[in-house]
Chain A
Amino acid sequence: MFIELDLQSETPLYEQLINQLIEGIASGALKPGDPLPSVRNLAENLGINLHTVNKSYTLLKQEGFLQVHRKKGVIVQPDAMPGVTAEFEAKLFRQLRSLAAEAAVRGMTEEAFVNRCKRLYEDTTMKRGGDGQ
């Protein structure tokens, strides 16, 4: 699986990295127990600061998406992934609410909005069980 960061994006680099790693897990490109590059290795390959990668890994570890293994280093959570927590519900509500409001203002119908959400969810999870590429 490849990740791509945009240095000019308004989204902070650590957040772009978090989003792409979660997308990788959701699509099945990253499977439970898969090893991830070390902080130094990934930062060197991307040419970005070590602290940026470290921040992403730390946040994902705190959330329960990653685990630090004594021998394998950083790995994708091999056990159960974090469930739908109250914090996640709040985040989902906050982000969807503002998007729904903007969609309504821009004249998008409720049906179109729901369909887009549904298709995105399906696309993200469609590759589950793939070969990781």
Chain B
Amino acid sequence: MMMNGTLIAATSLYFIQALLISAQNFFGPRTLLFGVSVPATETQDLAVRRIRVQYIFLMGIIVLVMAAACFSLIRYLGNAHALVYFLIALLLQFPLSGIAIAICRQSALRLNATRGWQVPIENRRSAIISSRRFRSPVLGLPWFGAHLAVIVVCVVIALVKWNDIPVYFAIHRNADRMPDWYSWYSTKSISSVFYENFGQLIGTGLFMLLNLIAARIRTSLDPNDPDGSLQKQIQYKRINSFVIWGISLGLTVFLGLFQAGRIYSFKLDLWINLTFALMLTAYLLLLGMLVYSRAKGLDQLRDFSSQENHHWKMTGTFYCNPDDPAIFVPKPYGMGWTVNIAKPMGRLTISAIVGIPLLFLVWVWLLSK
């Protein structure tokens, strides 16, 4: 059985993540119901509200059933084995919430067909042409100097403490706390000692890329209030950028602490607690961003170029419009962006998102053979 403290932390994290996923339903323009345009006068209609509640209800059932199944499986397991199931349950929340969204989108489309809503499409487009008054909406590259500083500190400490590092240690252990497929890396070497630093560098690079994408996302202005919507877009991008920066810095620090714990003496429980702390911080940061954006009305911004329903494929997950040069567009519900799969770069991005983790899994599988 898991220790009480770990179980409480794991359960809290599980429900906070479920809350975060469910809260997205209430984020985004009120005139969009799971990507389906709703007339402004109908946003408080009983049927519309019922579909929003339907999502919460479905998510509630999914979360509770998974929690019950997980708990019955881990009851007699040790910490490490239990955490594997817990991790699976955490990851399953995402595809299962997708199923809940698909069901609710179908309900929204049916309601749209029944009511015959004819929401007028905005045929005007507005853009800022002079950027003299505005600085970049996202945090600049120097902000990621903090990440590099953490990496440098980790490397310097490892170099200074080189003689204190044991000659043999495991880079990775399985759930039984036994060194697993990395066992041949157990001898002290550059690659085994600085293993996490490479991870820190790759992670920082990926988050810098994400920050760059946030900067490049289309600035869709409301033709009726271009200046006001521009200010909101800038503010929204800045908050996103700050969250990206904060989470990536937390991850860099975490990997540094993990490295320190690993090369001197491996303490699994310390690592578990650190992981919980990191994930909890990230979730609270995201939840804070949702609440702040909602309070300031930043989530009510619409992307005018992608407003037509027929451009959205696979229950509104992907955008497909060959006439739109944008590669990344805001999702029609929840937070974040999706790609324009009509563009080669969009298809390449999707391939990379799906393919890189698959390649990684294949590589791990090959190593374990």
Contact = CB atoms under 8 A, between A and B. Distances in A.
Q: Decide if A and B are genuine partners.
A: yes
Interface of A: 1-8, 20-21, 24, 29-30, 34-37, 40, 42-50, 131-133
A34 B128 CA distance: 13
A124 to B, nearest CB: 16
Nearest to B130: A1
Interface string B305-335: 1100000000000000001111000000000
B125 A43 contact: no
A8 B125 contact: no
B325 A30 contact: no
B129 A49 contact: no
B326 A47 contact: yes
Given A44-B218, A47-B324, A8 B129 contact: no
B128 A2 contact: yes
Given A2-B227, A4-B124, A5-B125, A44 B325 contact: yes
A4 B130 CA distance: 13
B123 A3 contact: no
B133 interface: yes
A4 B325 contact: no
Nearest to A45: B127
A50 B221 CA distance: 18
Contacts of A133: 133, 227
Given A43-B325, A47-B220, A3 B133 contact: no
A47 to B, nearest CB: 2
A41 to B, nearest CB: 8
Interface in B122-152: 123-133
B297 interface: no
Interface string B216-255: 0011110100110010000000000000000000000000
Interface in B280-317: 304-306
A97 to B, nearest CB: 31
B125 A46 contact: yes
A113 to B, nearest CB: 30
Given A7-B123, A45-B127, A132-B130, A2 B326 contact: no
A2 B362 CA distance: 50
B124 A7 contact: yes
Contacts of B131: 35, 37
B128 A47 contact: no
Contact of A30 (B123, B129, B220): B129
Contacts of A45: 127-128, 218-221
B325 A1 contact: no
22 contacts: A1-B130, A2-B221, A2-B226, A3-B126, A5-B126, A7-B123, A21-B129, A30-B130, A34-B132, A36-B129, A36-B130, A37-B127, A37-B131, A40-B325, A42-B127, A44-B324, A44-B325, A45-B219, A47-B220, A47-B305, A48-B125, A131-B133
Contacts of A1: 128-130
Contact of B126 (A4, A44, A49): A4
Contact of A4 (B125, B227, B230, B324): B125
B323 A49 contact: yes
Contacts of A20: 129
A43 B125 CA distance: 11
